[in-house]
Structure 1
């Protein structure tokens, strides 16, 4: 299979290029307007979304005489560059490409070349050898980092072009080719440039310029044509001046000829590039090149990106196999950067184009092999792949790796689709395919994350392929008609498929130890899926058969032990789970299993009380202070006596560094343990109801301060609270009590920060309504930092401080929460909760008689008259029995009629009458009781 060439873009938007030179890191461009542009090739640009490499302009300077440079040569051995411009040869230092002003500038130079053999380019002392052409002479100079010296000189006038092999220079004037031996200073005439014309003068000969290249180690190739012939001959000349072997025939006269190994590359005047094989003289390829004006052979191979290669092997993220792909996602920049690095093709042929620079590259044979695979010629494709491996030079080793990986992966997928699972697994191993691609073909593992990266050219094959059940059914149906037999065989084949998958995954895991999986940053996720799938397969196998394999599996390193634990839990394989925990020395997880057993989250056949004892004994045996702390608190919450017993024993046995008395203090001082401290404090105050005012005060103030901290630092919490307050204010009447409205968000809000804040707030509101006295002034000072937001808290605290007018003002005028205001008055100003039903203690009734008139008075201050009348009337009619008629009559506006308060007056008068009757009855009962006691006393005295 012969090599194909393709044109790739190197650099665009550079008009009127006069010459170009490059190596693996630098690109030097001369322009017709007399500029020299120095670019640095950036092969690793993770931010670039271009298929090509990035070229960074390092410098821009004027050429000598400000005329377009004719030739640029990079002299790597002396870290210099030679530039021929305006018949002047000057030198520049590398890598910065700055003028080497200390070196001699050579005038009257018509051309400059180097020998085509490396040993003649560089002297033993490391100097570079250049051959120059003046109007009358051929000169050979020696260039070092410090000096330029004349080495040899031979008379030869009118040189147009030349090529050098060792001491032999093949050169030409406009009319003829000649050969000069620099050592012997001898000249050998050859033949005319234009066939049959020793002195071609005239417009018809203007395009017939001489062309000379080094074809073989000891041969030159020259062009010779004639206006009378549409074709041009390429003649091979030995170092002795003899024409040898066959003749190349070009379809038109060349503009430029280069030699690349065993191929000649000719840019012809018909704007095509014609490629010949020198050994057979056959034309192998013709490439249209309408905008190419020149070809250049660079001093060193230049890295160029093969776009067709990228299109096939760029790694793109894959979705689960059975999800339909609606669109092809743009690859991530990192994937594109990686694809560029593995699509790097070295070329020494640069193309000068009308608007930039291109390159002629050897095109990969991957596309030809891919076509063979697509047409079902798997063996032919694999034979070509072996030949590709033999033919590819070491410089392209990385590209070869990915090409072979691509071929074997695709072959494996095609064999898999034919139900040839053994062959498929062999090629999967050779191609190092991402196991997730294969795992995704098994429906029983669809719950796993089988998203993977794959070569772009394989996407179609993967998307078109069926899952393993469909593959088995389709292939068996071609030969089996009986349904029962079909089902039986399907089960057997599926079992074989799973076994082959197990083999591949096992092999893949073993390669992990040698870092040969080749999946880079995705390795962790990959091996996590591999481990999970392999364990699932082993757990589905017969227990007797899988026991040793499971133990071997659990004895090896795992990428994600937590995933393995999850699978073992799913299968309730607690025996293997305990083995794994023991291997990993993960005592906390062991204790978590016991804890879940105690709480009933898992069932392991062990009684809850035994689980508590087991946890206590395990903690005492292990003797880890942190674990005893964590699970001791769990035991305190679950079984207080056992938890206390554990902590006391741990302290007595010096297993821990704390005492029982130190628990709260140490937790309070350690910020990392603050949440545990809060749990314990809440347990003491809320659950045990420890009658400790200091701790109660501390808990309330912690709640308040943390709420203020969240509101100060988290804009989402502030926005939510403001929005909820505004939302409540905008609710139409009748509306739920404000406390009910606030409480409902604690279980409905999904935002983490807001959820944490609401949980704190709910706790604070609950403890603010508790029966234990606390420092309400201190808490209020904290809350007032956000007086515009924390309204419920202010209401409760104002109530505790007997600032009832402030509380009622907030409820009536700000929130218009009249129901809560009534509840507040009913509970004597200490609670807003409907469920806190107090008894009618004398002090509570006294507070009601004080608060309901205040509420009535606040309602009268409402600006909306209809709302004022409705709410004031409601308070009078519902709670009038707690109000003094005289006080109310003083408060009632003058414009209110008697009818407007008639219901209150009737109720009040009835109450007064009832109270009078009650007083008379009580006096009568008292007199009767007195008479009865007097009678008893008389009997006793007698």
Structure 2
């Protein structure tokens, strides 16, 4: 301790010595009073000295140090006697290093003082410091010293002293808390960051254990020096999870923050300060856009909130940008293990949004859809409803396809949604295993014939598909569309319309799912395929029609109402008359097929034949007139010259432009005349009241009507 000797104003001169009468110093006075255990007098002396020092304009450093020494000396004496309130006051006034006081609390100091093995203390104070490793040992020693041997069995374990021990321990912690509060408020600016970190960390522990949540939050908001590894176990032990989340958030430890929230969501931890940890997790992951964190926690969240988890996983920044197919497959497997429904939704995202073409994934989704439809079909109410819809559709002619009718007349339900979704995906996807899907649906052919027809078309089984549509479902519109749209039960335009009405636009078929484009409708291959399918459909109608059986020649039989097969075949013939060859059709139809069923077809066929004949006549007449005009204009028609003429051996042809121009003013020739002397007139058709006729005038020799 740096100090100066006191000045003496009285000297005594002796024969062999010089003596001085020195004034009594505060330190000596305090030591004397403490030896007599007069603590109150020492406190009074220290208070007087403090007022004296503070009254001066300029504080003397030596006097301040003497005052600090006295306060520390009496403070530790009070600490030994477990007078914690007085001890805390004196030690603070003595400007004791807070780390020294913290060292007596091993449960609070943790590893904070490992970097501070030695601290500076007044020499006289160090000798009087309590020789204990912890405040609990000091309290126990004080109890034993004051009460032994009056309590049984031992002073340490007796119930009364145990209660006193707990009370004194609480008082000691309160003393430390008050000391650190005042130090942080008054002397924090003069402390180093390392010391402030120790003080803030110990205070955070005290606040957490004392359930002083408001003070704890204020401390964490103000200070960035709290040592997280030190307070983390304390916060968990005291259920201060909100404070823990504050620290994780301030330090940017997103992984630990998500881990804490997940335990709160699971119910393993509870904290009323965190009302909706699940939403907090979604908000953090959405804001961070960290692919690794999203991959890790998005799968877990799928088991808690499917909708928001899939939105998170399928966001552009987390699931689409640069993710490899194998990673997507792994994610799908993990999601399916947590939540099968979410797994299906994620699989739909991969196939319908990201347009993956992996056949295994397509097959998996198709079979999942089919299993869902079959699960609904197991319900009696659903099964009866679908049977009624099929019977109602088949009982009366209906120009709309069955799936369109089903969508329009069936009440909204999950079963309806599942069936339409399945049918659309079966039609639009070209990558699934159609044979596996067919095997799964085959036992339910009576109710799911439209779906089986779609699969048969995918497999190239045109006759099976058309038989299901025409004879089982009685969906003649879809059967005709199958013939004219490359074997598709639901053509692309119908797919789009059905998906829009059913709210299934995502299943309308993106380009990655649509099969490779077939030849254009005008190509010979396309025309031949369409004609082949139409003739196959006609054969199915005729072979399954009751008209194939012998009919009675009675008037009643002649006037009987046409059967559904007759009507369907007649409509098919009338709608696609150009695709059928009349002689072949007449030879194919049963002998007793009613004429009324053939009338529309025959009328359209004859009209088409007449139109073709008229068109040929027009073309021939135009060609003859053009030929006559060119002849009259003097044009020459020559064949290609031989190779020998290319050398110039032939005579050069001279054309007279003026003669040609003069001849161009010659009288024109009427259409239908082959020359000036022609007597043939060609009347090229008249269409009246839906009928056509050809009138032929006399034709001169050499003229023919083609």
- What range describes the TM-score normalised by the shorter chain of this pair? 0.3 to 0.5
**Higher relative helix content:** 2
**Higher relative strand content:** 1
Q: Pick the structure with greater CA Rg.
A: 2
TM norm structure 2: 0.38
TM norm structure 1: 0.30
